[in-house]
Amino acid sequence: PSPAGRGKAAPLDLVSDFPAIPAGWAYLDTAATAQKPQPVVDAIARGYDRTYATVHRGVYQRSADMTLAYEAARARVAAFIGAQAGECVFVRGATEAINLVAHSFAAPRLKPGDRILLSMLEHHSNIVPWQMVAERTGAAIDVVPLTDDHRIDLDAMQAMIRAEHKVVALAHVSNVLGSVLDAKRATRIAHSVGATILLDGCQAVPRVPVDVADIGCDFYVFSGHKLYGPTGIGILYGRAELLGAMPPYQGGGSMIDRVTFAKTSYAPAPTRFEAGTPHIVGALGLHAAIDYVDAIGLDRIHAHETALVARTREALSRLNSVRLLGPDDSAGIVSFVMEGVHPHDIGTILDESRVAIRAGHHCAQPLMEALGVEATARASFGVYNGPADVDALVAGLERVGKIFG
């Protein structure tokens, strides 16, 4: 990492760490996937050239070394989120993590009459796996509504939760609106009726400090690629006693204790959930990404993104045709609509000005319906963004306004 962004009080100025961001390109789609800093690119390259080998099985030194590196990555993840290494399962991403919990934790426990509690702003990956498990088990799904400023309404959650709710699954930070959940309060409410709570931390881990022990949640999931790491690697955190009591999600090599045709016994967690040769180099890349993020500090990243959000909301609120969505204190993400202009047109015209935003339903169609829109335009920030990116967005939107009269 460059020293430029390291001074305690200085604003972050890290774009030169990111080889895929050319000068003058305002990349405002970090909520979809973050660009990678050079140390992550280097860790991936190093993983495949001088040090590459499989893990866990080799009797030769290179494989033993790679196993140590792979397990060191797990320990690094655990330290980053306040967990124990044995509570962190390497998965493909948040989507796989939620499917794993739905399949191995929820499906064996749920029965007709039981209920699952989600919220109106969930990503499809925190809706569809629960619908699949509800269909299999006869459980029903309830949905916590949003407050007027588009947060998960925890007062409403408190009022509607009851003993039939066995599983609660909520986004820690909304990928559309940036709304930050009071994760500790949500956990207390879930636990007050004995429900198990999963938090979708995809948008939280790159934006706010996360300590799962302090939150007290049962499961926490995130994807590496939104945390400046590689795609294809993510984390399922589960409290040790829960993971230890769950059957495997997939069968195969590496996840067993002993296999005979009569009976197979399984390895303990987390190995039990990592069937097949894992994404070894992905884990090394994630390790480097966490080192990078931690060296900056999530408090600083959050403050940096909060300042960019404030600048954006302030400027957009002065554009008559723009309607801002989400709360003012959103974490690094701003969604908006423009009167008479489809978000896809906004995105296409902004691209001509070298501003990259996301336009669409953001894998949150129920939220679009609740907001009364078909789609939104979304700008989302990362450590490499600065005020100039916001200004480019605003200038681009003024141009959109002129084109559409």
Q: Are 396 and 353 in contact (CB under 8 A)?
A: yes
Q: Compare residues 312 and 380 and give the one whose CB is closer to ligand PMP.
A: 380
CA–CA dist 334, 68 (Å, integer): 41
Q: Compare residues 100 and 189 and give the one whose CB is closer to ligand PMP.
A: 100
Considering only 118, 202, 227, 331, the residue that binds ligand PMP (CB under 6 A) is 202
363 is catalytic: yes
Q: Compare residues 215 and 394 and give the one whose CB is closer to ligand PMP.
A: 215
115-119 and 140-144 strand pairing? parallel
Q: Compare residues 315 and 370 and give the one whose CB is closer to ligand PMP.
A: 370
Q: Are 35 and 384 in contact (CB under 8 A)?
A: yes
- Residue 274: which of 66, 33, 92, 34 has the closest Cα? 92
Q: Which of residues 76-95 bind ligand PMP (CB under 6 A)?
A: 93-95
Considering only 35, 104, 175, 312, the residue that binds ligand PMP (CB under 6 A) is 175
Q: How far is CA 325 from CA 178, 316, 378, in A?
A: 10, 11, 10
Task: Label each residue of 332-397 as H, E or C.
Answer: CEEEEEECCECHHHHHHHHHHCCEECEEECCCCHHHHHHHCCCCEEEEECCCCCCHHHHHHHHHHH
- Using the rule CB under 6 A, give the single segment among 12-20, 75-83, 182-190, 198-206 that binds ligand PMP: 198-206
Q: Compare residues 113 and 276 and give the one whose CB is closer to ligand PMP.
A: 276
**Which tokens hold the place of 282?**
């992905």
Q: Are 214 and 83 in contact (CB under 8 A)?
A: no
Q: Is 232 in the site for ligand PMP (CB under 6 A)?
A: no
Q: Is 389 in the site for ligand PMP (CB under 6 A)?
A: no
Q: Is 187 in the site for ligand PMP (CB under 6 A)?
A: no
With b for 16 or more beta-carbon neighbours within 10 A and e for fewer, the 2-22 pattern comes to eeebeeeeeebbbbebbeebe
Q: Is 179 in the site for ligand PMP (CB under 6 A)?
A: no
Q: Is 125 in the site for ligand PMP (CB under 6 A)?
A: yes
Number of residues that bind ligand PMP (CB under 6 A): 13
Q: Is 198 in the site for ligand PMP (CB under 6 A)?
A: no
Considering only 36, 123, 287, 311, the residue that binds ligand PMP (CB under 6 A) is 123
Q: Is 271 in the site for ligand PMP (CB under 6 A)?
A: no
| Binding footprint of ligand PMP on the chain (CB under 6 A) | 93-95, 123, 125-126, 171, 175, 200, 202-203, 223, 363
**Would you please indicate which residues are annotated as catalytic (active-site) residues?**
363
